[in-house]
Amino acid sequence: MPTESHNAETIVLHAGSYRADPATNAVAVPIYQTTSYQFNSAEHAGNLFALKELGNIYTRIMNPTQAVLEERVAALEGGVAALALASGQAASLFAVQNICHAGDNFVCSTDIYGGTWNLFQNTLSTMGIECRFVDPADPENFRRATDARTKCYYGETLPNPKLAVFPIGEVAKIGEQLGVPLIMDNTACPVLCRPIQHGAAITMHSTTKYIGGHGTSIGGIIVDGGKFDWEKHADRFPMLNKPDPSYHGAVWTQAVKPLGPIAYILKARVTLLRDVGAAMSPFNAFMFIQGLETLALRMRQHCANAIAVADYLSNHAKVEKVIFPSKMSGEAKRRAEAYLKGGYGSLLGCELKGGRDSGRKFIDALKMFYHVANIGDARSLAIHPATTTHSQLTPEEQLQTGVTEGYVRLSVGIEHIDDIIADLGQALAKT
């Protein structure tokens, strides 16, 4: 069914091999709530374990409900295959750890989600993997930080709180010259941006956000673009080109030859997921399939509402500054126009004239907006990052990521725009 050549609205409903449940003809994707799958024969079992054919073995490693989600998100992103995981954090970790070992390094944008920052800066360093943070405003910073042990570049398409779109094509090009793949966290921009089209090798999402949209389930997904030539850069990627002792000596770039350009994502599934076990539950995969079906429609409404909110706040006497791609100028605006299509996402920052005090009063006065540590929900959400999501960072680190004392982050929902603006207006009146 539809793949890359179709529009996002169609892909999210139809892409992939699932048409109806082969056992019952059910149209809705069943929740295959099973741990295991019966093998047809000893030969079939042997073939599955030897990766001579792909099929279900055990739900820690694969599941038919997950598979439908994976095929649809892979098609939406323009990739060849995907791996669903228990959370966005697991997806970020796996995306890097799949190709970085102790003694290696990777170069990462300073503009990333606070949780990812902690994972990369603190947890990965305890495993001997060094994260080199660089300012993405100058893409050449990625080249300068690269050496023979650099295994990937990492950025977020639309990182909050700065909301300055990442130079995807520019950094991907540097990576192409040096043999370093770019991994993009595209959580904030599904449908609006397809980083693989701009040269990224891998993308990932926290499906917890827009892909779900319902705010009921935690999940993550990694998509393999299938274009990065791991064999050409065999010296940099021994883990994909030398026998893997954890899988009876499989050489991943060779083992997948009959299956397609899926060395990266297959290795992540059958080694990292097998060992770490951060699997997405079949029920959550089902929930994300429900969310995915309306994703393109929701993104359209999120974007239209956010543009209207940015205009409203920009003209409000109590607002010092609105941080939103359409309100930027110069290179930041150019990147937003180049990489986002159909809108600027629904994340928006605003600094109130009264600073920290006003920011807190504003949050407390909101009636319809939920005060939560989340983004991408269908409902409108607000938070004060300095005292919540970014509070585990040092003050210097906070400033580096763009969090000032008075910054309030909004994730504009899909409610009627008049109701959104009415709530913001009454809350601003109380600051």
Q: Which residues lie near ligand PLP (CB under 6 A)? A: 87-89, 92, 113, 115-116, 156, 185, 187-188, 206, 208, 218, 220, 375
Nearer to ligand PLP, 92 or 105 (CB): 92
Owner of token pair 């090798």: 201
Nearer to ligand PLP, 208 or 358 (CB): 208
Nearer to ligand PLP, 134 or 188 (CB): 188
Nearer to ligand PLP, 155 or 359 (CB): 155
Q: How many CB atoms lie within 10 A of CB 368?
A: 16
Output the 3-class SS for the chain. Answer: CCCCCCCHHHHHHHCCCCCCCCCCCCCCCCCCCCCECCCCCHHHHHHHHCCCCCCCCECCCCCHHHHHHHHHHHHHHCCCEEEEECCHHHHHHHHHHCCCCCCCEEEEECCCCHHHHHHHHHHHHHCCCEEEEECCCCCHHHHHCCCCCEEEEEEECCCCCCCCCCCHHHHHHHHHHHCCCEEEECCCCCCCCCHHHHCCCEEEEECCCCCCCCCCCCCEEEEECCCCCCCCCCCCCHHHHCCEHHHCCECHHHHCCCCCCCHHHHHHHHHHHHHHCCCCCHHHHHHHHHHHHCHHHHHHHHHHHHHHHHHHHHCCCCEEEEECHHHCCHHHHHHHHHHCCCCCCCEEEEEECCHHHHHHHHHHHCCCCEECCCCCCCCCEEECHHHCCCCCCCHHHHHHHCCCCCEEEEECCCCCHHHHHHHHHHHHHCC
- Name the minimum Å distance from CB 76 to ligand PLP: 17
- Name the minimum Å distance from CB 257 to ligand PLP: 33
Nearer to ligand PLP, 175 or 376 (CB): 376
CB of 230 closer than 8 Å to CB of 240: yes
- Name the minimum Å distance from CB 336 to ligand PLP: 17
Which residue has its beta carbon closest to ligand PLP? 88
- Name the minimum Å distance from CB 90 to ligand PLP: 7
Nearer to ligand PLP, 77 or 244 (CB): 77
Nearer to ligand PLP, 115 or 342 (CB): 115
- Name the minimum Å distance from CB 205 to ligand PLP: 8
Nearer to ligand PLP, 250 or 348 (CB): 348
Q: At what angle do helices 355-365 and 417-429 cross, to 10 degrees?
A: 130
Nearer to ligand PLP, 146 or 389 (CB): 389
